[in-house]
Structure 1
Amino acid sequence: MSLSGKFVDSIERVGWNKRVSVTVGNSSVLTCPPKSNRTMVTWKISPRVGGPCTLGYRTDQNKTDRTNCSDSMNWKFRPDQDPALEIRQVEIAHEGNYICEVVSTEGNFHTTYHLTVLVPPRLTLYCDDHGNPVCEAVAGKPAARISWVLESSFTPREEGHDNGTVTVVSKFTAYSSNVTNTTCFVSHPAGNQSNSIVCRPSENSFILHASIILCFLSVFTFMAVIYYFKLHGSRYSRQKACRDDTMEVEPYTTYVQKENIIYNSVSDLTVGQSLPQGLSSAT
């Protein structure tokens, strides 16, 4: 059994089953079991998108037949000589199962192909608003893998599309602020790609960081002022309370002192009047 490697990117043979990977836009040729004395050959195609189709050939009538097959799928050569199937300009819609059934005098034989269509991603590399490099592997199938040549901490983000392709986005975060030139490397079964870029911190990023620092300092200053007035306000309240207590005690003390003076004066006067003539109170 032979297979034209010029049209097929890779093949993995598993018994009578084969896995074929083809890059979108290329052509692929699938062959049937190489049996002699073929009496009938039938291709049964079940694409992932759209309905099934068949291509058939009968040797006794030298007649071909096709049902629901697009113009992009046809016999590669004359089916009486080589019943290989050719898929021209492979698209994602061609992905699916392809079965070739051969009826010969030796018996019935078949080969099944599982066709996978590869879509190389479009590499996009740019600097975001903060001066960080961002690498995108756009609309690849399967999803690409992104890595950076320099050491980085990054978490890729994937976004699936309706046609089965996937966009992978990775933002570069350098461990050192001195790093300016960065290289993005995209790995994919359809081929690897790389690109480099130089990003510098933008003015908006500087203004944002400065604003954050000023805001933090303002909040810190405001809290310090509140604490200062709260602390000194408490001391002032205690001092005022002490003065109020003193003012309340002083009138009472003055009153008691006056009462004592009056009392002493009256006592001296009373004692002087009670003594006999010729005697005076001792001082």
Structure 2
Amino acid sequence: MHALGRTPALTFLIFINILVAELTCTDKKQKTQNNSSPVAEVNTMVSVQMHLLCTKALLCCSSIPLKKAVLITWTIIPRGQPSCIMSYKIDTMETNEINCLGRNITWVFTPDLSPDLQISAVALQHEGNYSCEIATPEGNFQKVYDLQVLVPPEVSYSPGKNRTAVCEAISGKPAVQISWTPDGDCVTKDESHSNGTVTVRSTCHWEQNNVSAVSCFVSHLTGNQTLFIDLSRGVIQSEHQAFLLISSCL
């Protein structure tokens, strides 16, 4: 089932609270010794959420003044794909790209203005290692990112027989955690997909006749969702409360 189900056997209320983190340049400081000796950056893990709408990601190179630079090189190694190399030679103002066409990866402005990189529409294929190296007469300065792409799941429910309910989170990345209140006799199964997403399905049964309302809590890095299900009523009511912070393509 790929949408919230509707049935006269259950009453449910749905509250969705999602915060989408836009990837921004948060660390523009290059560590140096006495402001002269280059130091290679430690690999930094960053995460950005993929949307049906366009989401940008901004990866920052070292903040070395470009007047000191000789060559700027971005080396991009997506998981399971050929590498892409983008470079800019300062003295000749020459740019060069190797195997980068059609990947939605560009300089933020022009490389003579900024060495930073932009992914204009984040997708699963953008996961991987991104390394920016600035060559100067004093040595090379490097910044390395491990980019993780998060995929929000599509949460649905379906009724079962004999006081049973099913809560399913479809194609999320990473896999969600599902819990129920009150506790029941529950079985949760994961199904991994070839694109790296995971579907989690939890089926729960309550023996006690005094349990009439239950809730399914879906926990994920992109936000949490709670489904409140009334097992005893036969009227359908739904209420959605969503909070979305989305970075759009401009």
| TM superposition score normalised by structure 1 | 0.64
SS in 2 for 1:22: strand
Pairwise CA RMSD: 2.5
Q: Could you tell me which residue of structure 2 aligns to residue 40 of structure 1?
A: 71
Matched, 1:19 2:19: no
Matched, 1:110 2:125: no
- Offset, 1:178: 2.2
Equivalent positions of 1:178-197 (< 5 A) are 178-197=210-229
Q: Could you tell me the percent identity over the aligned residues?
A: 38
On the 8 A contact 2:77/2:83 being kept in 1, the answer is yes
- Offset, 1:94: 0.6
Equivalent positions of 1:200-219 (< 5 A) are none
On the 8 A contact 1:40/1:104 being kept in 2, the answer is yes
Separation in 1 of the partners of 2:25 and 2:119? 15
Measured against aligned partners, the alpha-carbon deviations of 1:225-266 in whole angstroms (never above 9, x if no partner) come to xxxxxxxxxxxxxxxxxxxxxxxxxxxxxxxxxxxxxxxxxx
Separation in 1 of the partners of 2:24 and 2:78? 19
Match of 2:92 among 27, 48, 61: 61
Question: Which stretches in structure 2 are left out of the alignment for 5+ residues?
Answer: 1-20, 28-39, 234-250
On the 8 A contact 1:151/1:175 being kept in 2, the answer is no
Q: Could you tell me which residue of structure 2 aligns to residue 229 of structure 1?
A: none
Equivalent positions of 1:87-106 (< 5 A) are 87-106=119-138
SS in 1 for 2:205: coil
Q: Could you tell me which residue of structure 2 aligns to residue 263 of structure 1?
A: none
Larger relative contact order (CA 8 Å, sep ≥ 6): 2
- Offset, 1:48: 0.9
- Offset, 1:106: 2.4
Separation in 2 of the partners of 1:133 and 1:9? 41
- Offset, 1:66: 1.3
Runs of 4+ in 1 over 3 A off after TM superposition: 9-12
- Offset, 1:16: 2.2
Matched, 1:30 2:59: yes
What amino acid sits opposite 2:61 in the alignment? C
Separation in 2 of the partners of 1:152 and 1:185? 13
Distance 1:66 1:7, change over 3 A: farther
On the 8 A contact 1:11/1:18 being kept in 2, the answer is no
Match of 1:7 among 5, 22, 28: 22
Matched, 1:50 2:81: yes
Measured against aligned partners, the alpha-carbon deviations of 1:2-45 in whole angstroms (never above 9, x if no partner) come to xxxx7318989x95210011101321111111112111101100
What amino acid sits opposite 1:101 in the alignment? E
Distance 1:154 1:15, change over 3 A: farther
Return the structure number with greater strand share: 2
The structure with the larger Rg is 1
